[in-house]
Amino acid sequence: MLDIAIDGPSGAGKSTVSRAAAAELGVIYVDTGALYRAVGVAALRRGLDTKDREGVAAILPEITITLGFVEGEQHVYLDGEDVSKAIRLPEASMAASDVSAVPAVRAFLFDLQRTLAKENDCIMDGRDIGTVVLPDAGLKIFLTASAEERARRRFLELEQRGTPVDFDTLLQEIIQRDYQDSHREIAPLRPADDAVIVDTTGVPFDEVVARVVALAHEAMAKLRAAEILEENEAYGEDTDA
């Protein structure tokens, strides 16, 4: 069973790269940011200040978040309602970053993530997958790119969607979110000690996907070799006896 953890800052291309690599490898893709976004949406819908940690923690017993896969595509449900679109609204991004700093929120979403990885071969992306959620993942990748490059990609994406925004505002938001995500006390964004760092600045998308797929094949071969060694040792113990 191979679990692949892909962490990195927002806009590094984690979701597009993970989705494409997962399709190529025949495993499911789990986007954990969607879970934090769903908690953010729940808080916003209740009119809460998303920086109010106690207020946010207090709503957790009242909400249910689940993930489903429709034709291989992840959908996130808040109290049974499909909020996959609502979580992509701009206000949900900062709300998600705010609520993700609340320890109770991280604990609330931990089991869901662990169970998904246990039950499926998957690529799971987020901020703390290699460091906290799946410390034993067979492969850990830290996908990154310069803040300017990430802002540029997001700018083009929003422009194509017909919702243009000011580039400098976008860049400042990215820098602020990076800072917030990597300086929180709990599960800050950082590469795991054994993560492979993949910098995507100036690297074409297809090349990044090919690199991730190649790393996955290497990791699978290593896992298989370790399994064979274990089987041989067990066999040796049996025949020695």
Interface residues with ligand DC (CB under 6 A)? 10, 32-33, 36-37, 96-97, 100, 126-129, 177, 181
CA distances in angstroms from 104 to 42, 48, 91, listed in the order given: 15, 16, 21
Residue nearer to ligand DC on the CB measure, 149 or 181: 181
State CA 127 to chain mean position distance.
6
The CB-of-62 to ligand DC minimum distance in angstroms stands at: 20
The CB-of-23 to ligand DC minimum distance in angstroms stands at: 19
The CB-of-100 to ligand DC minimum distance in angstroms stands at: 3
Q: Tell me which residue of 18, 197, 201, 36 sits closest to 125, measured CA to CA.
A: 18
Residue nearer to ligand DC on the CB measure, 205 or 235: 205
> CA-to-CA distance for 19 and 117, rounded, in angstroms?
15
User: Phi-psi bin for 187: left (phi > 0), alpha (psi -120 to 50), beta?
Assistant: left
The CB-of-31 to ligand DC minimum distance in angstroms stands at: 7
Angle between helix 147-160 and 167-183 (nearest 10): 130
The CB-of-230 to ligand DC minimum distance in angstroms stands at: 31
Residue nearer to ligand DC on the CB measure, 103 or 236: 103
> CA-to-CA distance for 24 and 104, rounded, in angstroms?
35
Residue nearer to ligand DC on the CB measure, 194 or 214: 194
Amino acid identity at 222: K
Residue nearer to ligand DC on the CB measure, 171 or 223: 171
Decide if 2 contacts 121 (C-beta within 8 A): yes
